[in-house]
Structure 1
Amino acid sequence: MATQAQPAQQFRSAPIAHEALRAHIAEHPEDALRHPHPWDTSRSDIYVENRWQPIFAEMRAAGPVHYIPESPYGPYWSVVSHKAIQHTEALPELFSSSWEHGGITILNPMSDETLAAEGRERFELPMFIAMDRPKHTGQRRTVAPAFTPAEMKRLEHDVRTRTGQLLDRLPHGETFDWVSEVSIPLTTGMLAILFGFPWEDRHLLTFWSDWAGDTEIATVRALDDQRMDILREMGAYFGQLWVERMQAEPTPDLISMMIHSEAMNQMDPQEFMGNLVLLIVGGNDTTRNTMSGIVHELDRFPDQRALFESDAATIPNAVQECIRYQTPLKHMRRTCTQDTELFGQNIAAGDKVLLWYNSANRDEDVFENADALDITRENARRHLSFGYGIHRCVGARLAELQLRVLMEEMHARRMRVSVAGEVERVRANFVEGFRRLEVEITRF
């Protein structure tokens, strides 16, 4: 849809989120987080260095639920087994997702006293994943029609065409960054289509996603004003699109769906921004990083790459196994609403409860030889990468479609992608993925 919305000048000069964080830590090393507890898996160093697996394995061997008394985010409970996470997710009234209780990440909202002392106003971004029933139900139902099987069938031709065209432009026999050349363009383009977003400005969706979804940068108070300004300008841009869609006939894009829904057409600006952040981060970071993870994992497990290359029929299950292995979101947070017992542990009302999906997906009681990639794994679909229960990812089918098509189009071109240089992982306790993945393409 044509639009008069124009990006703010700030977007053209503002740093990328992870570059801003890196620069701040370089200037203020005292702000680097310290983690005295050996089982505090909120620390980002274990993820950027890819050494988190033994820590969770030790925790699972000791029990499904553990209390972490001290961390930069305060005390919390870690739920680390597949069974315990499903059990907790199945009790949404007891273990709340609501932003009013703390939301879905380990981050702590600033206290009223701290806000007053710093002369700040509270800046909340309510979103339906961070709501409890019944409000969650109505808002989720509004966007769910965009992700039905029928919609996936309608979108598949476009997804396949764009994927094929991009793969055909890639260089062979030379090193390039798969993240910037493949994973980001494919997912950003898909988001632009879902929102009916101006195609020439689609790069802004990636920019906003990085600033909104980076839990590490959200802990750096010195970057608060810049982050909030960027999110507000995102809201202003989408606000213009909202006004335009109000004056037009309903269309299948997500903004139009919100406008023409009783559950969402009266959202205040903060709630509108919150749901945009949810849909942008959920649709961008997760699929983007799994697209990179597929390449990295097949390179690490050459026997599995050989299976993939020899038989395209392995692809649907390979997608599920790669999603299990990659686990694009490491955790979700819940807040206990009343005193209860969880697998022998006494959880108090108000306690923060962290559900570690990356640990559940490596649970040896569910997945045999869980630290290995096995694209023929019979129960790969039991992964918890999309969550479980009422908050299971609404866009799961779209993610699966994009990943399946990518693997099918790579196979059709007999494209072998090998890691050939730098591998830089995301420094974060929330999103799992790659900043940079240097590869080289050959044919099999």
Structure 2
Amino acid sequence: MGDPAPDAAAEAVNFSPLDPELADDFWPRNNDLRERCPVAWSTAHWSADESGFWVLNKHQDVMAAATNWSVYSSADGASPVQFDLDIMRMVPLETDPPLHRGVRKALNKFFTPEALTQTEPSIRATVDELIARCVEKSPADFVAEFTSQLPPIVFFETFLDKKASEIGWIMELIDMLLTQPDRVMEAAPQLLMFLSELLESRRAEGRTDDLAGTIAHMGTGEVDDGLDLDERARVETMNLMVLGGMETTMGALAGIARTLGTDNELRVSLRDADSKTLDRHVEEFLRYDSPVPTAGRTLAQDAEASGCPMKAGDRILLNWAAANRDPEKFPEPDTLNFERANANAHLAFGAGVHRCLGNHLARREIRAAVQAISELSVFELEPGYEVKYRPAFARGPISLPTKVAY
């Protein structure tokens, strides 16, 4: 147990983002926490050695914190449960401006909507290939065969010029890191070595035209980027690019697939939907079932949220999920409403300068998947199957046994 609440007005709870019981009773517990104590003091651990942190649950408070990096700093870690930054730091996520701004500027060009438009045909081709595999195996575990496959294949083929057939072992390592944290010391060194060798090869080739080449030359003085980085920071940046968007998008895809697999009327209604309609549905799906529930911050100075005073050095948990179902922001938040005017005000990708760099890529993958699923004659979750979610930094079903047919 952690220290008691530092302020008598704050209710002490034992809220942990990795609690297995939270995974199984997610929305009732989050909704109750937000309504009972907009700012809660959790006695749970936020790192291996430290416990006691604030949990911000209201949309207004979470948005205010996320857009104020100078007070709610990411430099001391942004994970919901913080790993040792001396072992691995996620760059640029776990940095603040000006370093954060410089790294993001170098990477942004690959993730703008304009740059990603050209990826849409290849994304749809990959979606169709994976759907065909599911049809062939039907009933198929849609998580194992589709949602956990699409993001890594798209990333490696689009940004690293690596075919899925060439990096099967890398995908196995990524799956191990995301689903078996107890094996991190086995998987992480292999992945980091691969990324280090990838950056070395880009420098040897003099390539600066792709994502890996850009990262390989960041802060080396060979390009005019105004950065001063060591090789460790470059590897950490490459590692975040590989891992950062995958679990997020995997969770979002699986959550949406669960909904479509149990609501055939909704699925059929999207069969001939135009892009604007699909985009509106994607935003509401993301609000409704937040794939990344929480993020960590540290107070750089004294602050206040919902009238609750907090001290410099305090650890903060931004509860994106609870904020996305705040009835003060989203009326009837526990209901999917695809006519919701402000659905895109959700915080599924965070907010402020640390907003997810790959959010436009994730949206394209999700839209392509929704479109393909809606075109199927059969997409049905096994009747009576109890969907379980694993406790993790990103939220998504563990398995979805699904009948799939053209």
Tell me, in whole angstroms, the C-alpha distance in 2 between the residues paired with 1:432 and 1:210: 15
Residue 171 of structure 2, aligned match among 177, 192, 206? 206
Per-residue CA distance 1:106-142 (angstroms, 9 max, x = gap):
324569xxxxxxxxxx523341011011000111111
Correspondence list, 1:401-416, <5 A? 401-411=364-374, 413-416=375-378
Residue 296 of structure 1, aligned match among 258, 281, 301? 258
The match for 1:379 is 342
Report the CA distance between 1:182 and its aligned residue. 1.2
Tell me, in whole angstroms, the C-alpha distance in 1 between the residues paired with 2:202 and 2:72: 37
The match for 1:351 is 314
The match for 1:68 is 42
Q: Return the letter of the residue paired with 1:430.
A: F
Structure 1 stretch 165-174 or stretch 332-341: which is displaced more? 165-174
Asked if structure 2 preserves the Cα contact closer than 8 Å seen for 1:184 and 1:206, the reply is no
Residue 362 of structure 2, aligned match among 383, 395, 399? 399
Tell me, in whole angstroms, the C-alpha distance in 2 between the residues paired with 1:431 and 1:409: 24
Report the CA distance between 1:229 and its aligned residue. 4.3
C-alpha spacing 1:173/1:92, structure 2 compared with 1 (3 Å): closer
SS of residue paired to 1:196: coil
Per-residue CA distance 1:342-365 (angstroms, 9 max, x = gap):
221111111110001111111111
SS of residue paired to 2:382: strand
Tell me, in whole angstroms, the C-alpha distance in 2 between the residues paired with 1:406 and 1:278: 24
Asked if structure 2 preserves the Cα contact closer than 8 Å seen for 1:235 and 1:269, the reply is no
Correspondence list, 1:163-312, <5 A? 163-171=127-135, 174-193=138-157, 194-197=159-162, 199-213=164-178, 217=181, 223=182, 226-250=183-207, 252-262=209-219, 267-309=229-271, 311-312=273-274
Q: Report the identity percentage.
A: 22
C-alpha spacing 1:435/1:267, structure 2 compared with 1 (3 Å): farther
Tell me, in whole angstroms, the C-alpha distance in 2 between the residues paired with 1:402 and 1:139: 24
Per-residue CA distance 1:34-67 (angstroms, 9 max, x = gap):
xxx7551434223432x12122222222342111
1:368 partnered with 2:314: no
The match for 1:83 is 60
1:316 partnered with 2:279: yes
Tell me, in whole angstroms, the C-alpha distance in 2 between the residues paired with 1:127 and 1:89: 17
Structure 2, unmatched stretches of 5+, are 1-11, 220-224
Q: Return the letter of the residue paired with 2:40.
A: H
Structure 1 stretch 318-327 or stretch 200-209: which is displaced more? 200-209
Per-residue CA distance 1:226-276 (angstroms, 9 max, x = gap):
523422221211222212211224354311111243459864343233223
Structure 1, unmatched stretches of 5+, are 1-36, 112-121, 218-222
Asked if structure 1 preserves the Cα contact closer than 8 Å seen for 2:58 and 2:323, the reply is yes
Q: Return the letter of the residue paired with 1:258.
A: I
The match for 2:8 is none
1:149 partnered with 2:106: no
RMSD, aligned CA: 2.7
The match for 1:119 is none
Per-residue CA distance 1:69-92 (angstroms, 9 max, x = gap):
344751010001111111011210
Tell me, in whole angstroms, the C-alpha distance in 2 between the residues paired with 1:290 and 1:434: 9
SS of residue paired to 1:75: strand
C-alpha spacing 1:80/1:381, structure 2 compared with 1 (3 Å): same
SS of residue paired to 1:76: strand
SS of residue paired to 1:247: helix
Tell me, in whole angstroms, the C-alpha distance in 2 between the residues paired with 1:91 and 1:184: 33
The match for 2:17 is 42
Higher helix share: 1
Tell me, in whole angstroms, the C-alpha distance in 2 between the residues paired with 1:47 and 1:400: 27
1:55 partnered with 2:38: no
Per-residue CA distance 1:4-47 (angstroms, 9 max, x = gap):
xxxxxxxxxxxxxxxxxxxxxxxxxxxxxxxxx75514342234
